[in-house]
Amino acid sequence: MSHIVYLGLGSNLGNRKAILNEAIALIFERVGEVIRQSSFLETKPWGFESPNQFLNACLCVNTELAPRQLLETTQAVEKEMGRAHKTVNRKYQDRIIDIDILMIDDLKIDEPDFKVPHPLMKERDFVMIPLKEIMP
């Protein structure tokens, strides 16, 4: 079964543009066809202090992965690209790559480690601005 998913990407360490492009290539390879991609948006850190600005983007992807497989695959890409820690108890920190699952079709998922639609996306301009750019 095919799913249309929206992903949010962010990086505030290293060569952010190259990192986002690498993540997009890995998503294309392991998740599915990238149907639409927003432009990159530079933003201040959200929820924590850092001198490092973020570069953010959103993707629309057609995938054959089931929702849990999608989560596992995006987390594996983050880990492979050097992300050591996920956010715990909303304690945010600098990160080489962050891949958030924003939406999967019209699905609603409410599990302790997996919530779709992303519960904080509407509070975040760094998600909503690029997301609106690629939404039909």
Beta bridge partners of 4: 62
- Under 8 Å CB-to-CB from 122, ≥6 apart: which residues? 128
Identify each DSSP E strand in 24-113 by its residue range.
32-37, 41-43, 54-63, 98-104, 109-111
The pLDDT of residue 84: 73
pLDDT in tens, 36-45: 999 999 999 8
The CATH number that applies at residue 104 is 3.30.70.560
Amino acid at position 94, single letter: D
**Structural domain count, the chain:** 1
Classify residue 31 as exposed, middle or buried by CB count within 10 Å of its CB (0-12, 13-18, 19+).
buried
Assigned token pair, 43? 């933003």
pLDDT in tens, 71-87: 999 999 999 998 776 65
pLDDT in tens, 91-113: 778 889 999 999 999 999 999 99
Q: In terms of residue numbers, what domain contains 34?
A: 3-133
